Structure 1
Amino acid sequence: MGNNEEILLLFRKNEQQGFRLLYASFYDPLILFATQLLGDAEEAADVVQECFVDFWANRRFNSLRGSLENYLYSAVKHGCLNYLRNTRRREDKHDVIREELYDEEEGVDPELVEKLYRSMESLPEERRRILHMVCMEGMKYQEVADQLGVSINTVKTQMGRSLQFLRKALKTDDYLTLLFFLGKK
């Protein structure tokens, strides 16, 4: 019996021992594989860890058909591709915002940009994270809810509260500028 079958059998008998053997057998090779794809060992470790957690939390070992090794490498590859796509989307959004906010033809004052970012940084952590994901990363409310493990109503409520806070924190013209730029995203 190969190591892959042994891991799956152990998972079915004792999940913790199965996970330990899975980790010991595949963690380092998967990190190397993901690092080749991402070029960053720290990000690679995050992707591999997420794949392991998904494998265990969603009990993928119960329905796995075929090779465990093939499944893990495929899951890590897709995790890396998703990471790269999301990073690229986030960087593109940041570039667009930066260009628009600093475009002298638009007449946006760099002090206003600083004030907007300071106001957004003073939001509570969860609200700031949701505002960032929706406005800066361009994610839909349902995507944010799924990623954070909260309901879509929570995302809507937190967005409303974030915008309400920013409206109070900023002058009317500054808030309208913020809405203009966020609305274009």
Structure 2
Amino acid sequence: MNNCISKEIEDLFLTHYREWCLVSYSYVENMDEAEDIVQDVLEKVLCKLDDVNKILDIKSYIFVAIKNTSLKRLRKASKLTKMIESDIFIPSHEDGLIAFEKSAYILDALGSLPDQSKRVFELCVLEGLKYEVAADTLNISINTVKYHLKKGFKTLRVILHNQYFISLISTLISVFLLAE
């Protein structure tokens, strides 16, 4: 059965290779990269021949996989560009002191959260754990995790006022973008 499927994939590859490369190119705007993406996707499909049996329309599956892989590479390249651009900025000593003061102020605010809210905030926001994992770790329900996060953000918004709260949120967003 696997030989039959690999022959079908090979035929699809030979028939649609150029078309798939052009689809990928429409996203990444680099033909070499587009060809690499198409080849990577087909290699992954061939490696998962047992799972391919479950796919009803392999051509559509490969098309969507190429599109998604192209978009993923674009996001990764965009993040890398942002990271490089942010590295170009060299903060002065004064900027470093201001950032340190903001961090200290934010950490003090985090310390003022109730213990359970603080722990949930640390797990979900600072460590990036999913709600389910945090709930299992703390032996509480997912809804309780959501409640404590909402309560934590609400408390921090009041304590930090708008300027520092926005600073906290932007810092968290940049950390999560770099983590992906």
Provide the TM-score with structure 1 as the length reference: 0.45
Whose Rg is larger? 2
Provide the TM-score with structure 2 as the length reference: 0.46
